[in-house]
Structure 1
Amino acid sequence: MANVDIFQVRTHEAPLLPAPVSTTGAIGWMRQNLFSSVGNTLLTFFGMYLAYSIIMPFIQFAFIDAIWTGDNREACLATDPNTHAGACWAYVKAYLPQFIYGRYPEMERYRVDIVYAMFVLLLVPLLMPSAPQKTLNAILFLVVFPIVAYFLLTGLEIGDFVVFPIVETAQWGGLLVTLVIAVTGIVASLPLGIALALGRRSQMPIIKLVSIIFIEFWRGVPLITVLFMSSVMLPLFLPEGVTFDKLLRVLIGVTLFSSAYMAEVVRGGLQAIPKGQYEGAMALGLRFWPMMYLIILPQALKLVIPGIVNTFIGLFKDTTLVLIVGMFDLLGQIQSSFSDPNWSTPTQGHTGYLFAAIVFFVFCFGMSRYSIFMENKLHTGHKR
């Protein structure tokens, strides 16, 4: 009898089977990224050990062994000589008003709170791309808010009528000074940096030379020297009887210093724009400023968002240097609190610096994440 081959013909589609568990989900991701080879496995275990060695002591100090309540240093001292006390958050709680307001009069601190509230209420919709009335919002934030904040913080007296009592800037401190310097420097340095970048690329020799000299001078001088010169040396060169507020001198020095770095960041974006964009704009009959405003600058600034935000973050952290000229920002206020014997403990310094690190991290991380959000929203073919 001849051999007969029997074939099975499927009359319907076979059911779809799920992918193996070892290739999907968390397990698949770990197999592919952490344990794909012997070398990667060893590096993974070494990284886990290193992270455990760093993170666990931090958690132990900051949370598990931390002291959260107390009225003085006795609450933050270790009860057992063989153990170490954790972070003294009771000390931070007691000094929190000074960390936020400095020596601003207690009865007038509501004015600072109003400025904080106005800043948040105007900044948040300005940063939201879908928020309406952008032009009005920008005018309120960039024009109205600085004027109102100035009179609220410094005071306003009309003749014998006192609207807000005068508070000297020498009494300001803590987070208030940090934000005033950082926000003023950020807002003022960006347009000045754009102008300097355009000036450095100008075809007019005088403007180009002045821009180059300005940029290279400020980039070649440390910020500490700038603050020292603006606060200590500048009054020696002024005419007799002419004085400037110390905070104003610091603001001017920080703004000029930051604008030089901002100019180079913006110039990098301008140089990244293809020549055809300039030629296309001129072919449409656009003059220099309409061309820059409508076509070139929007593309250039979009390309250098990471560099701009990086400069902003550096400026925000550099505000701590104002301590050398006698201004007590957040870090300076924390350092001055170490002289209080009522809270003097072995962990006071660690706790104060940890609190400062957390505050600076929150602000800097927020700026970083927002820059990533804007990059993802604005990229149109540039992202790789």
Structure 2
Amino acid sequence: MAAPSRPTATAVVPPVTARIGLVAWLRTNLFSTWYNSLLTVLVAWLLWITLVPFFDWALLRASFAGDSKEACTAGGACWTMVRVRFGQYLYGLYPESERWRVNLAFGLLAFLSVPLFLAGFRHRLLYLAILIALYPPVAWVLFRGGILGLPSVETALWGGLFLTLVIAGVGITASFPLGILLALGRRSELPVIRALSVVFIEVVRGVPLVTVLFMASVMLPLFLPVGVTIDKLLRALVGVALFSAAYMAEVVRGGLQAVPKGQYEAAMALGLGYWQTMGLVVLPQALRLVIPGIVNTFIGLFKDTSLVTIIGLYDLLGIAKLIVTDPQWLGLAAESYLFAGFGFWLFCFGMSRYSQRVERRLDSGRTRR
């Protein structure tokens, strides 16, 4: 008969309240060691001496009512300026009586984009291609006018958030397919195509966007025939799209190099041609791998739209600077720039969060549970 086994000592488990809850999280993440505790206290002190005065100035003692600078008597931020000039922040110098056209164009875009976000919608790519082909001419007619009884509005009057969205939207829409083509061209086996792609990418990436915009705005008209002019905004749109396409090409090329060679060989074994291999096998995998890089390029492009101010176009940041030069609102640059910065952050943060959602949806079948 076997002797009974003696019980062994087990590890003492701390109480549940010591392992979960707010106190446990603070102890684990902020006060785990003496130097972590010291660093936590130091950061908390820095936040206290910076954020508390800021919120006191921006919210508690801020002024929102009134129609002029004289109404701001509380000693805090004067958001009265933003409220009075809110239309200029959105539309720039676009005529107030014609701003309904801008609202209609963006409302139409939002309505037509709804099917793209429906889970069960088929032929999404075909619908997107048709939308990209047909919407820009309609939007241009609404924005620019001059036909169908719509008064003409010069592009020099476009500005504010409206102009920022136009430049960013056109740049993103044009640079993405161009970047894919350049990435494929750089990996092409045809020497001429590969050389042209490499030269374009390296030359464009080697100069700042300011130089590209300056060349498109000032130097390009010097080489045009007499009497031939190209709209300044159109030149800026082309420059921004080409500049962003060069960076997008390198992001996509990184995704193409990450696709295993076996995927190419499997497609060849199935008898697929080059474009079928790229469109059906390689590119879907490559683009999924580089979603963070793609969105990062989009965010950089959105912020770079503020550089068009140097060629006389007033985007959101440019119109914020223009407003504070008005003698009626002198000395309120902090409020104007803060509001413009919040607008940029809001759109960039939205793109970042949506990209994370797309990543989770596309990676749901590969994540180990």
TM-score under structure 2 length normalisation: 0.92
By how many angstroms is 1:124 displaced? 4.8
- Shift in CA distance, 63/383, structure 1 to aligned 2, threshold 3 Å: farther
**Which residue of 1 is the match for residue 5 of structure 2?**
none
Correspondence for 2:49: 53
Q: Does 1:219 align with 2:205?
A: yes
Rounded Cα–Cα distance in structure 1 between residues aligned with 2:143 and 2:83:
24
Secondary structure of residue in 1 paired with 2:86:
helix
Where does residue 141 of structure 1 map in the other structure? 131
Map of 2:8 onto structure 1:
none
Q: How far apart, CA to CA, are the structure 2 residues paired with 1:132 and 1:58?
A: 50
How far off is 1:101 after superposition? 1.0
Q: How far apart are the structure 1 equivalents of 2:344 and 2:368?
A: 29
Q: Map 1:256-295 to 2 at 5 A.
A: 256-295=242-281
Select 1:375's aligned residue among 353, 359, 367. Answer: 359
Pairwise CA distance, 1:381 = 3.4
Q: Is the 8 A contact 1:188 1:255 kept in 2?
A: yes
For each residue in 1:64-102, what CA deviation from the matched residue of structure 2 results, as whole angstroms up to 9, or x when unmatched?
Answer: 111111111111245xxxxxx221111001111111111
What CA deviation, in whole Å up to 9, does each residue of 1:290-327 have, x standing for no partner?
Answer: 00000100000000000000000000000000000000
> Residue 27 of structure 1: which of 23, 28, 41 is its match?
23
Cα separation, 2, equivalents of 1:333 and 1:140 = 34
Q: Partner of 2:282: helix, strand, or coil?
A: helix
Deviations 1:148-167 (A, max 9, x none): 1111001142xxxx421111
- Distance between the aligned counterparts of 1:303 and 1:119, measured in 2? 28
Shift of 1:143: 2.1
Aligned residue number for residue 151 of structure 1: 141
C-alpha distance in 2, partners of 1:132/1:208?
A: 35
Q: Does 1:109 align with 2:95?
A: no
- What is the distance in 1 between the residues matched to 2:123 and 2:50? 47
Letter of the 1:31 counterpart: R
Task: Using the TM superposition, name which of 97-106 and 250-259 deviates more.
Answer: 97-106
Partner Cα distance (2:205, 2:142) in 1: 34
Structure 2 residue aligned with 1:350, among 334, 351, 357?
Answer: 334
What is residue 293 of structure 2 aligned with on the other side?
A: 307
Matched residue, 1:100: 90
Q: 2:120 & 2:224 partners in 1: Cα distance? A: 49
Question: Residues 102 and 176 of structure 1 are in contact (CA less than 8 Å); yes or no, is this contact kept in structure 2?
Answer: yes
1:65 is matched with which residue: 53, 58, 61? Answer: 61
Following superposition, the deviation at residue 123 of structure 1 comes to 3.6
Kindly provide the CA deviation profile for residues 232-260 of structure 1, in whole angstroms up to 9, marking residues without a partner as x.
11000111111100000000000000000
- Distance in 2 separating the partners of 1:383 and 1:272: 21
In structure 1, what is the Cα distance between the partners aligned to 2:106 and 2:154? 19
Q: Is the Cα–Cα contact under 8 Å of residues 63 and 87 in structure 1 kept in the other structure? A: yes
Pairs aligned (count): 356
What is the one-letter code of the residue matched to 1:258? S
Is the CA contact 1:122–1:137 (under 8 Å) kept in the aligned structure 2? no
Kindly state the Cα deviation for residue 26 of structure 1 after the two structures are TM-superposed: 1.8
Among the aligned pairs, what percent are the same residue? 54
- The residue identity in structure 2 corresponding to 1:366 is G
State the AA in 2 paired with 1:213: V
Structure-2 residue corresponding to 1:248? 234
Whether 1:174 and 2:165 are equivalent positions in the alignment is no
**Runs of 4+ residues deviating >6 angstroms:** none
Query: SS where residue 163 of structure 1 aligns?
Result: coil
What RMSD in Å do the two structures reach over aligned CA positions? 2.0
The AA in structure 1 aligned to 2:274 is F
Deviates more, 1:54-63 or 1:374-383: 374-383
| Counterpart-to-counterpart distance in 2, 1:355 and 1:208 | 45
Q: Quick one: distance in 2 between partners of 1:320 and 1:184?
A: 15
- Decide whether aligned partners of structure 1 residues 265 and 127 sit closer, same or farther in structure 2, where only a CA change above 3 A counts: farther
Q: Distance in 1 between matches of 2:241 and 2:224?
A: 20
- TM-score w.r.t. structure 1 length? 0.88
**Contiguous gaps of at least 5 residues in structure 1:** 1-16, 79-84
Per-residue CA distance 1:310-362 (angstroms, 9 max, x = gap): 00000000000000000011111111111212222x3x100001100110010
What code does the residue aligned with 2:65 have?
Answer: T
CA distance in 2 between counterparts of 1:58 and 1:328 reads 28
CA contact (8 A) 1:122 1:140 kept: no
> More deviation in 67-76 or 226-235?
67-76
1:118 aligns with 2:108: yes
- Once the two structures are superposed, residues 122-155 of structure 1 have per-residue CA deviations (whole angstroms, 9 ceiling, x without a partner) of 3454245455663464245312221211110011
Q: Is the 8 A contact 2:63 2:73 kept in 1?
A: no
Partner secondary structure for residue 164 of structure 1? coil
The reply on whether 1:234 has 2:220 as its aligned counterpart is yes
> Which residue number corresponds to residue 39 of structure 2?
43
Is 1:319 matched up with 2:319? no
Q: CA deviation at 1:284?
A: 0.7
1:44 Cα offset (Å):
1.5
Residues of 1 paired with 2:62 and 2:124: CA distance? 45
Alignment of 1:159-170 (within 5 A): 162-170=148-156
Q: Per-residue deviation at 1:121?
A: 2.5
